[in-house]
């Protein structure tokens, strides 16, 4: 398992198990008297096939222990009821509690489908709940928590598919009558290419300024995005990349002015991670993704030395091209050595072009499906190897000379890869086998995209920094999850509160160490020094 150098995993503790069940998507609030309330979905599997129970837990000792406090609602698929998915719990300024929960995604993905977000209200601190309010009119799915907006209205964001582009849009819904009726105030982000979703609304500096931190659901090296509003959500800035890639981001402003974002990390080590900083200053900055599992690498004698070992995977992820029509210039100065024979040691890949360059001690080669084109070269000495694509012609260069060719057809290679296991689905470089060593002195990467902004990145080992130095310095691993966890590592729909003393109490779910189709809830006590 990859243990991040900025890890607080030792502070994680189990808070709730439901035997034989999958406990998912907890959301927490703190009541005026100090009691903590938490809602989660108690289900038979991650994607429930039988029944779901929206369960309320309470803690009167600051989160050290929890007890079942009640049920908000339940659904039984075997009786034809619709699946409950992700609940969110809010304490509003008027003292009411509200739970919003979406239903079966397939029934409410599209803007032309009926709304499927139901509301439940409590006026007695969660002791009793109203029946489901099914006619709120909040469209889409995976809604964020409902919040009091600075202009006095209630707001919530969700995402849905726009029919014109057949892609997701993140949308802001508001109510001016206390939650009885809702209308779409604005589209937060939609460009017909990026898959904006799971947006988290943040009120900045207690004013009318808002931010929305969003998941980008293509994954594969595309980061999270943020958009800003100066008029309480009526209009929004163009979305900008963020230096992290978190699924289901949970974001709020801390007392010290920074914004803390937590969620499922998908561009590096697997697990739930945190980032804290200034959203505005750091928007537009892309950070290279690091290895997803344990690895052995060091900066030595002017090179990044990757030691290939069994069950290690030292790979670095770059922003993918927009499409097969993008110009790409991907170049590295490196050498390799094998432990035995002429086995592959290193690789460079370009997603959406479907290109995979193998680097072995005695040759370089490109593969497309079952076909391989190979060039003999002594790669135990340093050479500059490049992948260069323009207008469908891909060239492999060796010290500036074109040595291999391929044609790139317009059909796009799939790029959606939540767990990073297939290099063809990511633009990457690094380790490709379990033996040998590679020595990387420089890497450069440039994109010329048809519609999206162009992109460039370069790195030199002489800088004394790793390719993923930003993540190493700024991302905090809350808890890890092993890549081989069955059926897949599952975690990261987190929630947290900040106490008066500055400490943070975070809750999440995880299946780490659990049998298939079960999970449990965890708590984490964070001190301000943990996120300094």
Mean pLDDT of the chain: 94
pLDDT value of residue 425: 78
The overall longest dimension of the chain from CA atoms, in Å, is 76
CATH topology (fold) of 297-465: Jelly Rolls (2.60.120)
pLDDT at position 369, please? 66
The residues, ordered by sequence, that sit 6+ positions from 292 with a Cβ below 8 Å of its Cβ are: 2, 268, 269, 270, 313, 315, 419, 420, 483
**pLDDT tens digits along 163-201:** 999 999 999 999 999 999 999 999 999 999 999 999 999
Condensed to tens digits (0 to 9), the pLDDT of residues 378-409 reads 999 999 999 999 999 999 999 999 999 999 98
Give the residues of the chain that fall short of pLDDT 50: 1-3, 414-421
Distance CA(328)–CA(457), nearest Å, equals 12
Predicted confidence at residue 424, as pLDDT, reads 54
Answer whether 9-290+473-531 and 297-465 agree in fold.
no
DSSP state of 413: P
Looking at residue 354, its pLDDT comes to: 87
* C-alpha span between 76 and 61 (Å, rounded): 34
Q: What share of the chain is helix, strand, coil (3-state, %, to 5)?
A: 5, 50, 45
pLDDT at 206: 77
Locate the DSSP E strands across 463-502: 476-480, 495-498
User: What does the pLDDT read at residue 138?
Assistant: 97
Check residue 114 and give its pLDDT. 95
pLDDT of residue 421: 43
Reply yes or no on domain 9-290+473-531 having CATH 3.40.50.11740: no
- pLDDT at 420 (0 to 100): 41
The residue ranges of every structural domain in the chain are 9-290+473-531, 297-465
Q: What is the pLDDT of residue 340?
A: 79
Query: What's the pLDDT score for residue 371?
Result: 80
Q: What is the pLDDT of residue 207?
A: 82
The label of the residue with tokens 């009411």 reads 96
């Amino acid at each position: 398992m990859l243990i991040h150098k900025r890890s607080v995993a030792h502070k994680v503790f189990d808070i709730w198990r439901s035997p034989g069940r999958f406990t998912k998507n907890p959301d927490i609030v703190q009541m005026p008297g100090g009691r903590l309330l938490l809602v989660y979905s108690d289900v038979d599997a991650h994607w429930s096939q039988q029944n779901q129970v929206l369960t309320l837990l309470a803690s009167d000792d600051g989160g050290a222990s929890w007890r079942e406090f009640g049920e908000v609602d339940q659904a039984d698929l075997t009786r034809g009821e619709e699946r409950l998915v992700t609940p969110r719990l809010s304490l509003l300024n008027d003292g009411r509690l509200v739970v919003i929960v979406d239903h079966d995604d397939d029934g409410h993905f599209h803007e032309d489908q009926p709304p499927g977000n139901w509301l439940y209200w409590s006026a007695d601190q969660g002791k009793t709940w109203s029946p489901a309010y099914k006619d709120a009119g909040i469209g889409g799915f995976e809604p964020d928590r409902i919040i009091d907006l600075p202009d006095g209205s209630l707001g919530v964001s969700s995402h849905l598919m726009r029919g014109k582009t057949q892609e997701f849009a993140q949308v802001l819904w508001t109510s001016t009558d206390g939650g009885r009726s809702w209308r779409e105030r604005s589209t937060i982000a939609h460009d017909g290419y990026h898959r904006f979703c799971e947006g988290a609304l943040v009120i900045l500096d207690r004013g009318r300024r808002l931010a929305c931190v969003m998941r980008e659901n293509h994954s594969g090296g595309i980061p999270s995005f943020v958009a800003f509003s100066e008029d309480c959500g009526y209009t929004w800035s163009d979305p900008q990349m963020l230096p992290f890639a978190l699924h289901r981001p949970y974001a709020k402003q801390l007392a010290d002015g920074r914004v803390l974002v937590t969620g499922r990390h998908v561009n590096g080590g697997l697990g739930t991670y945190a980032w804290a900083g200034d959203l505005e200053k750091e928007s537009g900055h892309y950070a290279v993704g690091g290895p997803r599992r344990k690895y052995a690498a060091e900066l030595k004698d002017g090179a990044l030395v990757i030691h290939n070992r069994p069950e290690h995977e030292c790979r670095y992820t770059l922003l993918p091209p927009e499409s097969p029509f993008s110009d790409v210039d991907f170049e590295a100065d490196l050498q390799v050595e094998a432990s035995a024979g002429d086995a592959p040691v290193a690789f460079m890949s370009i997603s959406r072009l479907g290109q995979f360059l193998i680097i072995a001690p005695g040759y370089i080669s490109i593969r497309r499906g079952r076909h391989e084109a190979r060039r003999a070269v002594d790669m135990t000495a340093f050479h500059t190897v490049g992948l260069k694509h323009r207008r469908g012609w891909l060239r492999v260069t060796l010290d500036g000379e074109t040595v291999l060719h391929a044609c790139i057809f317009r059909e796009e290679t799939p790029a959606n890869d939540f767990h990073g296991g297939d290099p063809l689905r990511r633009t990457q470089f690094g380790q490709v086998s379990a033996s040998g060593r590679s020595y990387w002195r420089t890497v450069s990467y440039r994109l010329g995209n048809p519609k999206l902004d162009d992109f460039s990145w370069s790195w030199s080992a002489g800088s004394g920094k790793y390719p993923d130095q930003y993540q190493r310095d700024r991302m905090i691993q809350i808890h890890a999850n092993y890549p081989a966890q069955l059926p897949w590592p599952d975690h990261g729909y987190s929630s947290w509160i900040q106490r008066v003393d500055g400490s943070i109490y975070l809750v999440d779910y995880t299946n780490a160490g659990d049998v298939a189709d079960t999970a449990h809830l965890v708590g984490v006590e964070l001190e301000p020094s943990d996120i300094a």
